[in-house]
Amino acid sequence: MTIVVTGVVVAVAASLVLPITARHAGRRLPPAALVPLLTATALTAAACLGFMLCALALAVAARENPLAATGHWSPTILRHLLPVPTALGLTAGIIVGVLAGSAAWRVLTTSRALLHAEHLARNLPPQGSTVIDDEIPDAYTLAGIQGRIVITTAMLRALRPEEQRVLYAHEHSHLRHRHHLYLQLTRIAATANPLLRPLVAIVRHGIERWADEDAVRAVGNRRTVAAAIARAGLARARAQRTNAATPRLALGGADHGTADRVAALLATPSQPHPRIAFAMMGLLLVALLTSLATTALTVHTTFERAEQHTLISTH
């Protein structure tokens, strides 16, 4: 009982601490390290919480008859070794059911969106990037097996030649590193464990920063990259004012992503304590994995003992 409850506490605490740690690490770790680390930790934290809730629910369900009989578990032993109150087990069961259900739904919608994107990509010319004649400055990467980059003529007109190189380098980075997967996986983890929701915005910002840093490597100048992003953002904002039909992102307004990216590029790249950031993230990951492993082991041995006892007592 205590070990499972401790497991739940560890999972919840880690999920609460993770976004704070992520914000701290975001200023110190290169995005190419931060994003995969965050995604992995988020998935672990989601799996951990799900497992603990399942264990609580199972401890209660396994001592009730249909299940107890099928598994040949002794309800008395189980009640003794894992004294989970029925109400707690039931609550855990309901919560994990809802969370797993919504996570499954998220996996489904994500896969459908990927298929849809793949279908769209196949309708575009086969080269990596497509320039479309459009008066709204816009540029995006479409995820998929092949992936496509779409840039409007208005966006190209808004940028200087070296800034166009920034744009291509940035979008190619998204394609090459399959950035959408990190975002989608984090989103799935955050659906399975809603405490992780703040991580989605951090990962979204992280993949943009990652692509920006790749663009810096491509053009060799941080200021050019910053200028490209600022000019593109301003051109889009201007088009938005003059053209009411400009599409708006639902998440727009609330996030200061574009300005933050420019600021990050212009800041002197001093990363004072990347080791501390690494250590903090690592510690969280280890805590989660340890708690997962010990709980799994305990639950396993408990059920084995309950089963052995039943076998002995029936002879």
Partner 1 sequence: MPERDAPDDDATVTAASGGRRDRGALEAAVLALFADTAEALTVSEVQARLGGTSAYTTVMTTLARLHRKGALNRQRRGKAFAYTVAAPPQAVEDAIVARRMRELLEGRTDRGEVLTRFVAELDPTDEQLLTRILHQLDHRNQPPDQP
* Residue ranges binding partner 1 (CB under 8 A): 109-114, 116-117, 120, 123-124, 130, 132-134, 136, 138-144, 150, 152, 155, 167, 170-171, 174, 179-180, 183-184, 187, 207-208, 211, 223-224, 226-227, 229-234, 236-237, 240, 247-253, 255-259, 262, 266
Toward partner 1, which CB reaches closer, 91 or 258? 258
Toward partner 1, which CB reaches closer, 18 or 142? 142
Q: How far apart are CA 59 and CA 177, in angstroms?
A: 42
Toward partner 1, which CB reaches closer, 208 or 213? 208
Toward partner 1, which CB reaches closer, 72 or 217? 217
3-state secondary structure of 105: helix
- Whole-number minimum distance, CB 266 to partner 1, in Å? 7
Helix axis angle for 257-266 and 198-219, nearest 10°, is 40
Q: How far apart are CA 161 and CA 148, in angstroms?
A: 21
- Whole-number minimum distance, CB 302 to partner 1, in Å? 40
Toward partner 1, which CB reaches closer, 43 or 92? 43
What the block records as the tokens of 219 is 């053009």
Q: How far apart are CA 239 and CA 241, in angstroms?
A: 5
What the block records as the tokens of 172 is 């190619």
- Whole-number minimum distance, CB 247 to partner 1, in Å? 5
Note whether 89 and 57 are within 8 A (CB): yes
Toward partner 1, which CB reaches closer, 93 or 233? 233
Q: How far apart are CA 133 and CA 152, in angstroms?
A: 6
Note whether 54 and 96 are within 8 A (CB): yes
- Whole-number minimum distance, CB 119 to partner 1, in Å? 9
- Whole-number minimum distance, CB 193 to partner 1, in Å? 17
Toward partner 1, which CB reaches closer, 8 or 207? 207
- Whole-number minimum distance, CB 122 to partner 1, in Å? 12
Q: What is the DSSP letter of 196?
A: G
- Whole-number minimum distance, CB 180 to partner 1, in Å? 6
How buried is residue 115: exposed, middle or buried, by Cβ count under 10 Å (0-12/13-18/19+)?
Answer: exposed
User: Residue 70 is which amino acid?
Assistant: T
Partners of 132 in the beta sheet? 152
Its sign, for the CA torsion 93, 95, 100, 102, is positive
Strands 139-142 and 148-152: antiparallel
